[in-house]
Amino acid sequence: MTGLGWSQGSAPVRRRGPELERAILDAALEQLGAGGWSSVTMEGVAAGARTGKAALYRRWSSKADLVAEALCEGLPELGGIADHGSVREDLYRLCARMRDVMHSPAGEALRAVLHECDHAHADRFREVIWKGLHEPAHRLIRELVDRGIERGDVRPDATSPMVIEVIPAMLMYRTKVCGSEWPDSEIAEMIDGLVVPMLRV
């Protein structure tokens, strides 16, 4: 067999470019999901990707670099939010999508890594969360608030950065401190009891 998996001998399959990189990143995510940060080794990832360790070090100088890229590439994109006719419904859909991103395989691995690794590496992976989730979420929340202002169901001055940060702050706080998994009912309670009253005229 050639081009897929191991050959009948013991040599790694020859793959190049994006195909090999995708296999390596998938193997890193698989190890993270199975055992967390401490379980990931360059040797183990190479074995999982069915390649040689040298192929990893040609692309990533350290385990942290490899894991950071695997997490960045693995996190689903938030995408856009269609207009559902009210700021309440738009924000509810966005919160549900943010929850789903954090419950994706890459999101679960990222949360595990933040709990396990040292402070220097934790700062690196918090940056992954910021760029992969919080920055896009802030941009989308601002877009939905502006849409609500144009629609007339949000007060015109509800554009403060503090207002925009309330949803991500609540999601992260209750996830980390209270262990919330954010079922639909809690998302609705947050939107209806806190966010919508804060935005209304």
Residue 3 within any structural domain of the chain: no
Residue 150 sits in a domain of what CATH number?
Answer: 1.10.357.10
Q: HSE, CB side, 13 Å, CA atoms: give it for residue 37.
A: 15
For residues 69 and 80, membership in a common domain is answered with no
| pLDDT tens for each residue of 114-165 | 777 777 787 888 888 888 888 999 999 999 999 999 999 999 999 999 999 9
Which domain covers residue 125, as residue numbers?
76-199
Residue 31 sits in a domain of what CATH number?
Answer: 1.10.10.60
Residue 47 has what pLDDT?
A: 95
Neighbours of 163 (CB within 10 A): 18
For residues 38 and 55, membership in a common domain is answered with yes
For residues 192 and 102, membership in a common domain is answered with yes
For residues 108 and 170, membership in a common domain is answered with yes
For residues 57 and 98, membership in a common domain is answered with no
For residues 106 and 59, membership in a common domain is answered with no
- Of 4-13, 28-37, 56-65, the one with minimum mean pLDDT is 4-13
Residue 13 pLDDT level (bands cut at 50, 70, 90)? low
Q: How many domains does the chain have?
A: 2
Which of 73, 92, 113 represents a domain boundary (last residue)? 73
User: For all residues of the chain together, what is the average pLDDT?
Assistant: 88
Whether the per-residue pLDDT at 32 is higher than 60: the answer is: yes
For residues 94 and 172, membership in a common domain is answered with yes
For residues 86 and 97, membership in a common domain is answered with yes
Residue 2 within any structural domain of the chain: no
For residues 38 and 102, membership in a common domain is answered with no
Residue 193 within any structural domain of the chain: yes
Residue 8 has what pLDDT?
A: 40
For residues 66 and 82, membership in a common domain is answered with no
For residues 68 and 80, membership in a common domain is answered with no
For residues 115 and 62, membership in a common domain is answered with no
| pLDDT tens for each residue of 44-75 | 999 999 999 999 999 999 999 999 999 999 99
Query: CB-based contacts of 106: which residues, under 8 Å, 6+ apart?
Result: 29, 70, 71, 73, 74, 75, 76
Residue 28 within any structural domain of the chain: yes
Which of 56, 73, 90 represents a domain boundary (last residue)? 73
**What six digits make up the tokens of 172?**
């992260």
Residue 37 within any structural domain of the chain: yes
Whether the per-residue pLDDT at 3 is higher than 50: the answer is: no
Neighbours of 35 (CB within 10 A): 13
The helix/strand/coil state of 84 is coil
Whether the per-residue pLDDT at 9 is higher than 50: the answer is: no
Q: Are 142 and 66 in contact (CB under 8 A)?
A: no
Which of 73, 90, 105 represents a domain boundary (last residue)? 73
Computed over its alpha carbons, how large is the radius of gyration of the chain?
21
